[in-house]
């Protein structure tokens, strides 16, 4: 197994002229556990440069980002994503090596194939065979910090793009979506914040209540208040109800006759567009102070975002993706906002964001996998989206 604790400079990406399956296998062989891309983005930049792309490797701390553009004019479509992956888990539990990129019975196994190296390979392969109109542009924005802290990746690249006068009209992200290729368009994502609350008390023997102050009681009371606090004003037609969940309440106490002097709780909130993270954080802090006299540490991952169907530009982009997918699947795609957060929360500041990728059933799991057939199908979806956007009867004055 490759030593993922050290940078691996082995060049697996050797050509963009390969079949989409071989290209996906090349990406998989980089053990790019977040945030170390293992040289993947630099090698890709070299290949794109050889094909005439203007490429920029941008590094913030230990995070490598790649921005590449073909063309100089408008309309300008940007494909965005990430090459970093989550840890493999116990390697011995995998049926096939997580970075071996092996194909068995038509199934390609590997950490990150669904989330989302396979989609990157599909888009690159589709673009490689696509004839871009004169004066139009395609760009690619890839990071190695989506599965990690998401601080030095796409979030900072948005500022870099503005500083360098890079303003795509629309964004397509290759995050995994749905159970079958082309059946789902992700039109938005919920916002997310996490909290950690530490409640202090006084340690003592369980039989002498006058001599201890139980922090667990305060924590449980606070947890109930947070869990039952009013969130949404009404049902949201585009999102699931906002929800707070505690992920742990713990003292570290292994004894049954001792009251511990400190209790820690962790919780997360996924919320829809009826809220913003700043106001929701203040609401949570107020309840925690009232119940425990303690301030929680809040980490904001991002606010929710949603395609704006009342805006002509957003509406036209959504229609374009629907038509492109229908050309491939001959069915109508479902619109959804379910699932985890993505870097779309940063890109939505610049333009309308939609997500279409590979099936999501095995992401982050042991034996992450996609079928070879699905890779070919997603490539076809991307090719039809490109054709629809650049050549069909889309009103480019809107973008």
One-character DSSP codes across 132-163: PPTT-EEEEEEES-TTTT-SSSHHHHHHHHHH
84 belongs to the catalytic site: yes
Q: Using an 8 Å Cβ cutoff, are 98 and 32 in contact?
A: no
The residue annotated as part of the active site, out of 26, 36, 84, 115, is 84
Q: Is 169 buried (19+), middle (13-18) or exposed (0-12) by CB count in 10 A?
A: buried
Cα–chain center distance at 10: 26
Selecting among 36, 37, 146, 343, the annotated active-site residue is 146
4 token code pair? 């993922």
Peptide bond into 29 cis (omega under 30): no
Cβ(240)–Cβ(189) below 8 Å: no
Residues 51 and 104: beta-carbon distance below 8 Å? no
Cβ(190)–Cβ(240) below 8 Å: yes
DSSP state of 296: P
Our answer to whether residue 368 is catalytic in this structure is: no
User: 245 phi and psi, to 5 degrees?
Assistant: -135, 135
Name beta bridge partners: 69: 54, 139
User: Which residues face 55 on adjacent strands?
Assistant: 68
Nearest alpha-carbon partner for 214 in 245, 173, 177, 258: 258
Residues noted as catalytic = 84, 146
């Amino acid at each position: 197994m490759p030593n993922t604790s050290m940078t691996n400079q082995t060049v697996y990406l050797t050509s963009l002229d390969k079949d989409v399956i071989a290209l996906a296998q090349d990406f998989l062989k980089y053990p790019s556990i977040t945030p170390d891309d293992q040289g993947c983005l630099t090698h890709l930049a070299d290949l794109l440069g050889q094909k005439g792309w203007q490429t920029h490797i941008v590094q913030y701390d230990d995070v490598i980002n790649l921005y590449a553009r073909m063309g100089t004019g408008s309309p300008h479509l940007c494909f965005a994503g990430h090459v970093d992956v989550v840890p493999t888990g116990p390697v011995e539990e995998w049926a096939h090596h997580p970075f071996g990129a092996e194909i068995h019975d038509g199934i390609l196994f590997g950490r990150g194939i669904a989330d989302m190296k396979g989609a990157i390979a599909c888009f690159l392969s589709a673009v490689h065979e696509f004839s871009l109109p004169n004066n139009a542009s395609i760009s690619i924005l890839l990071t190695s910090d989506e599965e990690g802290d998401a601080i030095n990746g796409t979030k900072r690249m948005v500022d870099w793009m503005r500083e360098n006068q890079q303003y795509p009209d629309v964004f397509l992200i290759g995050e995994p979506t749905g159970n079958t290729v082309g059946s789902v368009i992700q039109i938005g994502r919920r916002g997310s914040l996490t909290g950690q609350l530490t409640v202090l008390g006084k340690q003592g023997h369980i039989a002498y209540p006058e001599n201890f102050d139980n922090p667990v009681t305060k924590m449980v009371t606070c947890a109930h208040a947070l869990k039952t606090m009013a969130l949404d004003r009404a049902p949201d037609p585009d999102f699931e109800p906002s929800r707070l969940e505690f992920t742990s309440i713990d003292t570290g106490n292994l004894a049954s006759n001792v009251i511990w002097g400190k209790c820690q709780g962790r919780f997360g909130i996924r919320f829809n567009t009826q809220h913003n993270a700043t106001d929701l954080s203040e609401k949570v802090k107020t309840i925690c102070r009232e119940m425990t006299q303690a301030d929680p540490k809040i980490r904001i991952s991002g606010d929710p975002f949603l395609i704006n169907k009342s805006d002509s530009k957003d509406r036209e982009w959504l229609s374009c993706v629907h038509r492109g997918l229908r050309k491939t699947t001959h069915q109508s795609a479902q619109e959804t906002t379910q699932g985890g957060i993505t870097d779309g929360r940063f890109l939505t500041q610049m333009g309308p964001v939609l997500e279409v990728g590979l099936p999501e059933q095995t992401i982050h799991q042991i034996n992450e996998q996609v079928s070879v057939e699905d890779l070919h199908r997603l490539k076809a979806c991307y090719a039809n989206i490109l054709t629809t956007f650049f050549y069909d009867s889309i009103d480019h004055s809107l973008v």
